[in-house]
Chains A and B, each alone.
Chain A
Amino acid sequence: MKKALVAATAAAIFATLASGVSAKSLTVGFSQIGSESGWRAAETTVTKQEAEKRGVTLKFADAQQKQENQIKAIRGFIAQGVDAILIAPVVATGWDAVLKEAKEEKIPVILLDREIESPKDLYLTAVTSDQVFEGKVAGEWLAKDVGSKDCKVVELQGTTGSSPAINRKKGFEEGIKAASNIKIVRSQTGDFTRTKGKEVMESFIKAEGGGKDICAVYAHNDDMAVGAIQAIKEAGLKPGTDIKIVSIDAVPDIFQAMAKGEANATVELTPNMAGPAFDALEAYLKDKKEPKKWIQTESKLYTQKDDPMKVYEAKKGLGY
């Protein structure tokens, strides 16, 4: 009896020690989609930085836009016995089997920046931004900025039918709902690209009396806003003063435009999804505290007052 007790205590002490050691040097696997956009590259960089800051050993796998590569990587992580797995899922379906394998091995899984259609008990939590909220922040900024003046807005939408385009449009409309003086007079897709943003803006300027009637541009991403700024300049108007520019994403180039006074505001889609994920993970491993199933990242608003050049310098090296 006594012997058993000693053995049990020893085991308990050993277990605490062991878990203490593992808490100090966590090993986390990260399955990234790929590097299809600047934002994606920045997310990878920031994730590596966040891991380093916390002394977490990060095993990184680039899936080159393929789900089978991601599943292979996750199985690899499970075989290596990592303490947790981060996934930026490339698609929403088809994850149940591999997530069950992770659950059987008691490895917590955290989703980054996109959600999936799987039973919620198969993953610990999902860290994503709220795209509707991003649009709303942009809309509310514009409503506050123009005050009671009449304002005709032209909208550059993202790729037709894509979820950021739908949600950012919806959010912006919510944001300006209270202000009856603000009206969206034209709305077209610019496919999230600079070229199309510029081409669409050129047409808008011609269709709206040479651009003098347009008070603001709302672009679903910064790249289209950069294109629109060029179109406005070539039409002989001043972007930022004659026509206000508000957009979403906060990529470095828009801060350069802001520093020159050519853009007015941008809402950040933070590349730091890993920070909140690691926080939740550490809390969970320490005292088994289940986090909420959805952790919303901050959608921070940047304007010309926020020292855009400094933000630009800080963001430049992230790989955008």
Chain B
Amino acid sequence: MTWFTRRLRRLAPQLVALAIILGIISLIAPGFLTISVQNGRLYGSLIDILVRAAPVALLTVGMTLVIATRGIDLSIGAVIAICGAVAATLISDGYSLPVVIAVSLGVGIVCGLWNGILVAVLDIQPIIATLILMVAGRGIAQLITEGVILTFNDDTFAALGSGSLAGIPIPIYLWVGTALIIGLLMRRTALGFLIEATGINRRAASLAGVRARFLLFSAYAISGLCAAIAGMIVTADIRGADANNAGLWLELDAILAVVVGGTSLNGGRFSITASLIGALIIQSINTGILVSGFPPEFNLIIKAGIIIVVLTLQSPAIMTLFGFIKATRRSGKLNHGTKEATR
């Protein structure tokens, strides 16, 4: 079996789910799949999905690594708010774009390192350690924006959220680029392998010479970095930092995306690509609900219903059942064959 088919087999449940969801939406809302060029940029609901998925997709990249170490990062929604607030403040104070981006990314990494200290050095359980910043983070963001929606008028920074390059919206470049860089870093070096080892058994990994503490630090730092990029996109998109609402509950969407992508919350083996398809599934559902014209009271029920179906299809019990059906059929044939032979 070649490398490619093996990959495809790993991603098959997610890809099939995504295709079915897109198919159903296009039946309900005709014109959903059309893509045209308008004002020199690609335009259409599918493009909307790719653009709107940017924040969750970025968070998902970091979250996948953290979950692979058998951790979880609840703080990233709040980190979005903090980094957005920092970026908006600097932009309205007249700092240049590179400074704004560098400082915001730096703040995101610092937030991640804070989580890293709590988890790796103080050995606090990740869910509690990151809960601290989840709660405090919005307060910090509100202190930075002084409790208002901090708006700015800077077209170059706003382009991060709503601009386009060669017809493709910039947020798509940002999340695909980040995912590619981190994905290659994980799989073309031993980093990904070592993270998996740490996630499966930190003690054993340490004893085998893996620097588990450093890996935990880097996983949380990358998670903070991804949240910082997402924070800038969200802020640039509405030309303002909304400390109360920016990134609200996105950490839960990111966890969901990782789970839909088939990475276990118990740590160990992970797939960034599968998690990203999970993020696209979630955003497709969101956008699909909007274009389909259902009343908003149904939004959450529809979303939950689809997620249940996707997760059920992937569950070990159902997989075993499928395997069992396949096996009985094959053995049935086999028995038949042997009978023929004996006769």
Contacts and interface: CB of A to CB of B under 8 A. Distances in A.
Interface string B242-273: 10111000000000000000000000000000
A36 B295 CA distance: 28
Given A188-B290, A188-B296, A199 B162 contact: no
B342 interface: no
Interface string A155-182: 0010011000000000000000000000
A199 B43 CA distance: 14
A267 to B, nearest CB: 20
Sort A-B residue pairs by CB-CB distance and give the 4 closest, nearest first. Answer: A203-B290, A189-B296, A194-B238, A193-B245
A207 B48 CA distance: 12
B244 A230 contact: no
How many B residues are at the interface, by size bracket?
20 to 34
Given A36-B244, A235-B43, 13 more contacts: A41-B147, A194-B149, A194-B242, A194-B245, A195-B246, A206-B31, A206-B45, A206-B48, A207-B29, A207-B293, A234-B162, A235-B38, A253-B149
B2 interface: no
A117 B246 CA distance: 33
Contacts of A41: 147-148
A203 B49 CA distance: 10
A230 B239 contact: yes
Contacts of A160: 296-297, 299
Contacts of B287: 203
Contact of B299 (A35, A189, A319): A189
B68 interface: no
Interface in B193-251: 234, 237-240, 242, 244-246
A302 B29 CA distance: 37
A198 B55 CA distance: 15
A248 B287 CA distance: 26
Interface string A181-193: 0000011110101
B115 to A, nearest CB: 25
B44 interface: yes
Interface string A294-317: 000000000000000000000000
B159 to A, nearest CB: 12
Interface of A: 35-38, 41, 157, 160-161, 186-189, 191, 193-195, 198-200, 202-204, 206-207, 223, 226-227, 230, 234-236, 253, 319-320
Contact of A195 (B148, B238, B290): B238
A61 to B, nearest CB: 17
B291 interface: yes
Nearest to B240: A194
Nearest to A231: B162
Provide the main secondary structure of the chain B interface. Answer: mixed
B189 interface: no
B162 A38 contact: no
B148 to A, nearest CB: 6
Contacts of A203: 45, 48, 287, 290-291
A230 B39 CA distance: 15
Contacts of A187: 295-296
Contact of B238 (A38, A188, A198, A206): A198
Nearest to B300: A160
B39 A38 contact: no
B26 interface: no
Given A198-B237, A206-B45, A157 B296 contact: yes
B299 A193 contact: no
A162 to B, nearest CB: 11
B70 interface: no
A189 B39 CA distance: 28
A319 B238 contact: no
A115 B291 CA distance: 37
Contacts of B147: 35, 38, 41, 319
A32 B43 CA distance: 46
B31 to A, nearest CB: 8
Contacts of A206: 31, 44-45, 48, 291
B297 A195 contact: no
A236 B39 CA distance: 7
B178 interface: no
Contacts of A202: 48
B314 interface: no
A235 B48 CA distance: 12
A195 B234 contact: yes
Nearest to B163: A234
Interface in B46-85: 48, 52
Interface string B286-311: 01001101011101000000000000
A194 B151 CA distance: 11
Contacts of A235: 38, 43
B157 to A, nearest CB: 14
Nearest to A226: B238
B293 A186 contact: yes
Interface string B11-51: 00000000000000000010100000011000111001000
A5 B31 CA distance: 92
